[in-house]
């Protein structure tokens, strides 16, 4: 499968013939100035929580593509009032979509939508199909609940974890998270977009490497095959 970094916590993923976009915050992100949201294809837009740096472009991308939003009940309902179709999940629940299975899992964070509407509790996603299984953590602290993922899901091929600290876990906690989820290939997100979350790339990679794990730090717009 192809994974492309769109800045902050946003990624596009191709699974089979379906296009997924996670947490789009692109049009107001100076680091993503070369990405035009009009060019993005999406069958589904997955939103981990309601904060602006995760949902900013969800409405435009969903409407351009007639995409389905997958998120918690509160967020899907909010977009439903804007005539965007959605599939609501809540923690611990999973659903089999035409691209694979999606489970909504715990995150420790907060969640409010841009207009102040309650955004439900924040979450992450564990997604699997016949080819792959991965975890998109969303914004979260390190949490003991991460240990439930390897107990309840297929072996993870990779995980997308926040590493920028201040609003989420930082590097050292993310290394522990990688151990909790029993995953050796981690893709970094939620770093460098704002001053509070700048990281030292080399030090971050080394912190993972000493534990036998790989931290992949993509350039905005970069695409890799996983």
Q: In angstroms, give the least distance from the CB of 116 to Mn ion.
A: 17
Q: Which is nearer to Ni ion, 4 or 51 (CB)?
A: 51
**Piece of 48-56, 75-83, 143-151, 194-202 that binds Ni ion (CB under 5 A):** 48-56
| C-beta of 51 vs 103, nearer to Mn ion | 51
Sheet hosting strand 223-225, strand order edge to edge: 86-89, 68-72, 44-46, 18-22, 10-15, 2-7, 223-225
The least CB distance from residue 143 to Ni ion, in Å, is 15
Among 10, 22, 26, 53, binds Mn ion (CB under 5 A): 53
| Position with the least CB separation from Ni ion | 51
> Out of 4, 19, 51, 103, which residue is the one contacting Ni ion (CB under 5 A)?
51
Q: Interacting stretch for Mn ion, rule CB under 5 A, among 33-41, 45-53, 112-120, 145-153?
A: 45-53
Q: Are 113 and 75 in contact (CB under 8 A)?
A: yes
Q: Is 165 in the site for Mn ion (CB under 5 A)?
A: no
Q: Which is nearer to Ni ion, 36 or 52 (CB)?
A: 52
Among 74, 139, 165, 173, binds Ni ion (CB under 5 A): 139
Site for Mn ion in 115-154 (CB under 5 A): 139
Of 220, 180, 212, 159, give the one whose Cα is nearest residue 34: 220
> In terms of C-beta distances under 8 Å and separation of at least 24 residues, what long-range contacts does 84-89 make, across chains too?
84/59, 89/123
Q: How far is the C-alpha of 118 from the C-alpha of 120, rounded, in Å?
A: 6
Please give the residues from 166 up to 225 whose contact with Mn ion meets the rule CB under 5 A: none
Cβ neighbours, 10 Å, residue 219: 9
Q: Site size for Mn ion, by CB under 5 A?
A: 3
Query: Interface with Ni ion by CB under 5 A: which residues?
Result: 51, 139
Query: Interface with Mn ion by CB under 5 A: which residues?
Result: 51, 53, 139
């Amino acid at each position: 499968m192809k994974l492309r970094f769109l800045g902050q916590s946003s990624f596009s993923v191709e699974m089979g013939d379906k296009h997924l976009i996670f947490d789009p915050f692109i049009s107001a992100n100076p680091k993503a100035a070369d990405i035009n949201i009009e060019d993005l294809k999406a069958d589904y837009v997955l939103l981990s929580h309601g904060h602006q740096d995760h949902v900013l472009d969800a409405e435009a991308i969903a409407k351009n593509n007639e995409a389905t939003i997958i998120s918690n009940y509160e967020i899907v309902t909010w977009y439903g009032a804007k005539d965007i179709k959605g599939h609501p999940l809540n923690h611990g629940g999973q659903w089999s979509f035409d691209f694979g299975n999606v489970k909504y899992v715990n995150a420790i964070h907060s969640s409010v939508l841009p207009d102040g509407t309650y955004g439900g509790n924040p979450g992450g996603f564990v997604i699997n199909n016949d080819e792959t299984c991965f975890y998109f953590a969303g914004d979260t602290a390190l949490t003991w609940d991460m240990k439930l993922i390897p107990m309840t899901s297929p072996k993870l091929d990779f995980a997308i974890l926040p590493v920028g600290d201040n609003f989420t876990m930082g590097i050292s906690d993310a290394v522990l998270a990688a151990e909790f989820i029993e995953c050796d290939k981690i893709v970094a997100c939620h770093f460098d977009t704002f001053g509070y979350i700048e990281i030292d790339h080399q030090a971050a990679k080394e912190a993972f490497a000493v534990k036998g794990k790989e931290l992949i730090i993509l350039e905005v717009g970069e695409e890799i095959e996983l």
